[in-house]
Structure 1
């Protein structure tokens, strides 16, 4: 079976770019994704705490896991290497699109996986370091960082859904049911209704 794996760190990021890349790749290579696994979770969470962990347990010899890039598998080199090592030991292939790798159980795949996992981690660390330095400089210059105190963001998860929520409320649909329909918690619906609807 061929699995498409998509992970974003926050609900502000979109899964659509990764899905588009994987679909595009599969079209060019006459492949069909049998099952999609999508999750919104930090790559720092252990593999067992993520849908990826459950997927890996289910995968069998000869299966293919396609993702946009190695960094989708984990936040750091050890985590990525752990996933790749498990896949290689069980003859599960891992294909990445941006990096354009086909990782199997051969020694070349293991060397490539190590090298590219390492470079991905170094790149993330450099970006993080540059961001911290820029923030420290702004703070030293007296610039106040972050959202002003007591001010909420004008955009929420439900922004743009006002009309639909109003229709559901008119049909006597509960906050819990509206939350399930829109993929949010009932308290998110409740506070949104109080403020916007």
Structure 2
């Protein structure tokens, strides 16, 4: 039987950290299993998965292990990111237990797990589509109101995407791909990449 690891994540609230630990220990006691290790990550949810040391957690995991979290939001800040981590766990044959959602994702690749991952994929796709639609509506509303999008002609380092910094930053935070962002704004992927780098939208 593999090890059981509790994954804790907080921003700065120590009380929240204690609550997560208590919920997980209480759940383990009620269900007659022990927590072998706690992986505690205290970083801002704005950091990406590797910066939050998710990779460190995966380095500790082997097939047959189990990861316990107090709720799904602890492993990702968006549906897309949560799905990516669940897929990595399933691929590595690691079970995931999310207490608040009363969710157990088996690591053995059975039909129930496949259906569950498919549902997560659909929700992730829906989230991306909704973000795309909101962004398009915002652009159309600005154009209809006569708002000029972008910098004045002749400005240094002008880009077709000038004025869209906030929208693009939101899309990046939601893990929308550069290709998808390019389609939304009807520009090339290279234009999106250069804009993100020059405007320092990635921290």
Alignment of 1:158-197 (within 5 A): none
Q: Equivalents in 2 of 1:70, 1:111: separation in Å?
A: 17
Determine the structure 2 residue equivalent to 1:172: none
Determine the structure 2 residue equivalent to 1:47: 49
Q: How many residue pairs get matched?
A: 122
Aligned pair 1:90/2:92, yes or no?
yes
Query: Which 10-residue stretch deviates more, 99-108 or 16-25?
Result: 99-108
Q: Check whether the contact 2:87–2:117 (CA below 8 A) recurs between aligned residues.
A: no
Q: CA RMSD in A?
A: 2.5
Shift of 1:12: 6.1
Where in structure 2 are there 5+ consecutive unaligned residues? 131-203
Q: Equivalents in 2 of 1:12, 1:114: separation in Å?
A: 35
Please give the per-residue CA displacement for 1:68-93, whole angstroms capped at 9, x wherever unaligned: 11110010111111110011011001
Alignment of 1:28-177 (within 5 A): 28-104=30-106, 105-113=109-117, 115=119, 118=123
Shift of 1:45: 1.8
Instruction: Give TM-score, length-normalised by structure 2.
Output: 0.54
Shift in alpha-carbon separation, 1:60–1:12, aligned structure 2, 3 A: closer
Instruction: Give TM-score, length-normalised by structure 1.
Output: 0.55
Q: Check whether the contact 1:37–1:51 (CA below 8 A) recurs between aligned residues.
A: no
Q: Equivalents in 2 of 1:32, 1:62: separation in Å?
A: 15
Please give the per-residue CA displacement for 1:147-189, whole angstroms capped at 9, x wherever unaligned: xxxxxxxxxxxxxxxxxxxxxxxxxxxxxxxxxxxxxxxxxxx
Structure 1 residue matching 2:6: 3-state secondary structure: strand
Query: Which 10-residue stretch deviates more, 105-114 or 67-76?
Result: 105-114
| Aligned counterpart in structure 2 of residue 14 of structure 1, from 2, 13, 16 | 16
Q: Equivalents in 1 of 2:61, 2:77: separation in Å?
A: 22
Q: Which runs of 4+ in 1 moved over 2 A?
A: 9-14, 105-119
Q: Check whether the contact 1:61–1:92 (CA below 8 A) recurs between aligned residues.
A: yes
Q: Equivalents in 1 of 2:51, 2:115: separation in Å?
A: 27
